[in-house]
Amino acid sequence: MPGTYSHVVLHVVFSTKERAPFIQPQIQSRLYDYMGGILRSEKGVLYAIGGMSDHVHLLFKWRTDRTIADGMRSIKAGSSGWVRQTFPDCADFRWQEGYAVFSVSKPGEADVKAYIQNLEDHHRRRTFQEELLAFLDAHGVDYDPKYVFE
């Protein structure tokens, strides 16, 4: 085949270190814009971003010539440095070490996007920890609950 054709769409979830509530309304939209800019500079396509004060969800199309780890390293390192530099009250801001990543089929994109856009409603019913474990279970990811959270 003379070309590369792909549809690599990912739903990524990660939290602030120790789930500290750093992502307050006054920085949230600017942080999301900045993270989207990093993703675009990496030649990814952001479909949705949202979160709560302690975690973020991203839905994006990713390229085939870079690893997911490369992209996440750029997004997390770049955005955490930007937060610390831009908001003096957030000098201790850090992301957790890892992340959860799930592949999304074309028919599933709308559902994931709607989920991300309605996170506040979802979190009235369950915590971030319950949410993440439900995602891991739904995707058949093996894990040891004592190591999932810092």
Q: What is the total count of domains within the chain?
A: 1
According to the model, what pLDDT value does residue 146 have?
84
Q: Cα torsion for 19, 96, 93, 8, to the nearest 10°?
A: -110
* Residue 143 counted as domain residue: no
By percentage, how much of the chain surpasses pLDDT 90? 89
Mean pLDDT for the stretch of residues 60-80: 97
3-state secondary structure of 47: strand
According to the model, what pLDDT value does residue 150 have?
65
pTM: 0.93
- Which sign does the torsion angle of CA 26, 27, 28, 29 carry? positive
According to the model, what pLDDT value does residue 1 have?
64
* Residue 142 counted as domain residue: no
Element holding 114 (H helix, E strand): helix 109-117
Q: Which domain holds residue 122?
A: 9-137
